[in-house]
Chain A
Amino acid sequence: MIVITALMVAMVLLSTAIFVIEAEKDVPTVGVDTSNVLLAYQQATRETLISGLSNVTNGGNPGVLTADLNELESVIVSKSYQSILEMSFTPLNELPYQNGILISWGTTGQGISSASITLGVNSSGTSLTSNLSSEVNITSEVDLVGSYLQLASNLTQVNLNVNVLNEGGPALAQNLAFFFDNATEGWAEVYSPTICDFGNGTYTASFTTETSQWAGPFLVSVRCEDQRGILIVANATCTNGQ
């Protein structure tokens, strides 16, 4: 009697197992790797900051950054089918940042264009819950150092050294334009300077001008657009190189 009962229980167990295995074969699978997905969100946020910073430094409205981030959030959340997703973007509001943006185009030879936010992602799936909180920072920097040489009584040669940095590392420039403080016209663009690109984010530029064009101290400026389209300006006073 007991053997018969055990046999029946065994059959029920086996048939249940076979049913479950067969049923799972028909379920369409969608690949998920949470860590990679979160990295992708981080990357998309970086791209959004670059786009926003590029827009703002080229004269756009600073509010564009928030609008872009909201747009990104709505797209990502609407495409999250496998988990309930909550995203938050908190712009850095500690000085010198304001609403996540810092534009410091100083007169001491250093220019910085930066955007910084804290990205928060909370993903709740059927079997896994993931949280991510990370700072996403985009910083483009240009450093300018200049010196001048009096070639003749009315002729001055200016030598400039420019370093371009992205997130603290060497980066290439897309466009470089140089200006000097003209006595009569204010900032005047230097046409056809001799630029040497060292390929590692370092550039040298030299040009000659008539000394009489200068208004007192030798003030120079560089307007740099990096490969990401972010504009950075730095102003410096040239030192006497003799």
Chain B
Amino acid sequence: MRLLRDKKGVVRVIEAFLASLLLLSCLALIPAQPNLNDSTGNLASIGQNVLLSLDSNGHLATMIDNRDWSDLQTSIESALPLTDWFNLTVYNENMNILNPYSISAGGLASDKIVSLDYVCASQNSTYVVYILQLQLSQVGST
């Protein structure tokens, strides 16, 4: 009974309670860390899958062997979503650019560009390694 009647320190308890409330609300206000790589990672996966599927029977390297740039552009364009922009650069193993003009399609609608490298090899008896650099961007990615 004596303890219940003793009101000393109540203010301190309230103060501490308010402080802890303040800290907790601050932590709650900090937004959950957005995963910035989600959209770009997805876009990169799409690009990688497109190149991988074109390369599945060696068609990708064959098109490059034959310097068939328009077919290469059409193939990638038809495999990617219509809303995507891409730009492909083909290098030989000495990093010299092989495509004489830009292989690209779509309008660049975002400043977020994903770049991925893909290595493919020619199936011809004359062995050549190509390095493809595919840049991708998607409408709506910010």
Contact B56 A43 (CB under 8 A): yes
Interface status of B102 (Cβ within 8 A of chain A)? no
Q: Known: A29-B37, A39-B52, A68-B127. Is A48-B22 also a contact (CB below 8 A)?
A: no
| C-alpha gap A54/B58 in the complex (Å) | 14
Which size class do B's interface residues fall under? 35 or more
Q: Known: A3-B15, A17-B30, A55-B127. Is A30-B122 also a contact (CB below 8 A)?
A: no
| C-alpha gap A50/B59 in the complex (Å) | 13
Q: Which residues in chain A, 1-38, are within 8 Å of chain B measured between CB atoms?
A: 1-3, 5-7, 9-10, 13-14, 17, 20-21, 24-25, 29-33, 36-37
Instruction: Tell me the minimal C-beta distance from B56 to chain A in angstroms.
Output: 7
Interface status of B9 (Cβ within 8 A of chain A)? no
Contact A13 B40 (CB under 8 A): no
Interface status of B77 (Cβ within 8 A of chain A)? no
Contact B127 A64 (CB under 8 A): yes
Q: Known: A47-B61, A47-B122, A50-B123. Is A2-B16 also a contact (CB below 8 A)?
A: yes
Contact B23 A9 (CB under 8 A): yes
The A contact surface, by secondary structure, is: helix
Q: B: which residues have CB within 8 A of A?
A: 15-16, 18-20, 22-23, 26-27, 29-31, 33-34, 36-37, 40-41, 43-45, 47-49, 51-52, 55-56, 58, 61, 93, 112, 114-127, 129, 131, 136
Across-interface contacts of B16 in A (CB, < 8 A)? 2
Contact B123 A5 (CB under 8 A): no
Q: Known: A5-B19, A40-B52, A52-B127. Is A79-B117 also a contact (CB below 8 A)?
A: yes
Instruction: Tell me the minimal C-beta distance from A26 to chain B in angstroms.
Output: 11
Q: B34 contacts which of A21, A41, A55 (Cβ < 8 Å)?
A: A21
Across-interface contacts of B48 in A (CB, < 8 A)? 31, 33, 36-37, 40
Select from chain B the residue with minimum beta-carbon distance to A7. B22
Q: Known: A30-B115, A31-B45, A55-B127. Is A44-B33 also a contact (CB below 8 A)?
A: no
Contact B114 A30 (CB under 8 A): yes
Contact A229 B120 (CB under 8 A): no
Q: Known: A2-B16, A6-B23, A72-B119. Is A48-B49 also a contact (CB below 8 A)?
A: no
Interface status of A167 (Cβ within 8 A of chain B)? no
Interface status of A128 (Cβ within 8 A of chain B)? no
| C-alpha gap A116/B31 in the complex (Å) | 53
A6-B20, A36-B49, A229-B123 are known; give 19 further A-B pairs, CB within 8 A: A2-B16, A30-B116, A31-B41, A31-B47, A32-B116, A36-B52, A39-B52, A40-B48, A40-B51, A40-B120, A44-B119, A47-B58, A64-B127, A68-B121, A71-B127, A72-B119, A72-B129, A75-B129, A229-B124
